[in-house]
């Protein structure tokens, strides 16, 4: 199995299991961010198969990766922002933010600069929300997740090697760590959804 494949598998497991599964069971803000991590995890799952030799998935992987950048990361940011600044508006924000982002993604997902700008703005939004988040450890995890995402996206990239290891591997592992920090931090910020009453 190639480095690109197994590291994308790590990203998929963390994003789907440690991120989406954890947050989709939570409050409305958590479900918003969980939806974003679900998109990232699906893209990584398809990437795992592609890099394992299923090259016919290259187009699907590119499209899903664009969707993860244009919709997934900003949706994670919307979850953080609503959890910290407007938890009572989280459900409404998820519907509108997700819908608007899908329209934007349909028009520009293939433009690398747009994906980079949307992802960077999303992580800056998380950093601002994390600075205001309580408890402080949760905010620190959010800030770490945002910094890792920005770092691997803007400084590492996916072409060539770094310290004898493919950059695409660093990219996937860095995003996996970032998504784990983003999910764990947000889980510490949001109020859990009350379980349904049993009659």
**For the whole model, what pTM was predicted?**
0.89
Quick one: tokens of 127? Answer: 């950093």
Distance CA 59, CA 80 (A): 31
CB 75 within 8 Å of CB 101: yes
Alpha-helical segments (H) within 68-135: 73-85, 90-108, 112-132
For the chain (199 residues), the mean pLDDT of every run of 10, in chain order, is: 94 91 83 93 97 95 92 94 90 86 84 89 96 93 97 90 94 97 92 44
Position 26 scores a pLDDT of 75
Q: What is the pLDDT of residue 146?
A: 97
pLDDT, position 192: 55
Say how far apart CA 131 and CA 67 lie, in whole Å.
27
Report how far residue 136's alpha carbon sits from residue 125's, in angstroms, rounded to the nearest whole number. Answer: 17
Chain segment 79-108, per-residue pLDDT in tens: 999 999 988 888 888 888 888 988 888 888
């Amino acid at each position: 199995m190639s480095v690109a494949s197994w590291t994308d598998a790590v990203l998929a497991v963390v994003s789907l299991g440690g991120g989406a599964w954890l947050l989709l069971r939570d409050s409305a803000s958590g479900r918003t961010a969980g939806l974003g991590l679900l998109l990232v995890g699906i893209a990584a799952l398809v990437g795992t198969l592609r890099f394992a030799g299923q090259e016919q998935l290259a187009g699907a992987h590119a499209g899903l990766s664009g969707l993860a950048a244009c919709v997934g990361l900003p949706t994670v940011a919307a979850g953080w922002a609503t959890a910290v600044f407007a938890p009572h508006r989280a459900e409404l924000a998820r519907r509108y933010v997700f819908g608007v982002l899908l329209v934007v993604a349909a028009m520009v997902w293939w433009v690398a600069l747009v994906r980079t700008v949307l992802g960077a703005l999303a992580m800056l939004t998380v950093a601002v929300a994390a600075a205001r988040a309580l408890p402080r450890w949760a905010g620190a995890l959010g800030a770490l997740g945002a910094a890792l995402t920005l770092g691997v996206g803007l400084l590492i990239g996916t072409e060539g090697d770094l310290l004898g290891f493919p950059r695409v591997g660093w990219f996937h592992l860095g995003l996996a760590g970032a998504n784990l920090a983003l999910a764990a931090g947000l889980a510490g910020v949001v109020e859990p959804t009350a379980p349904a009453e049993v009659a």
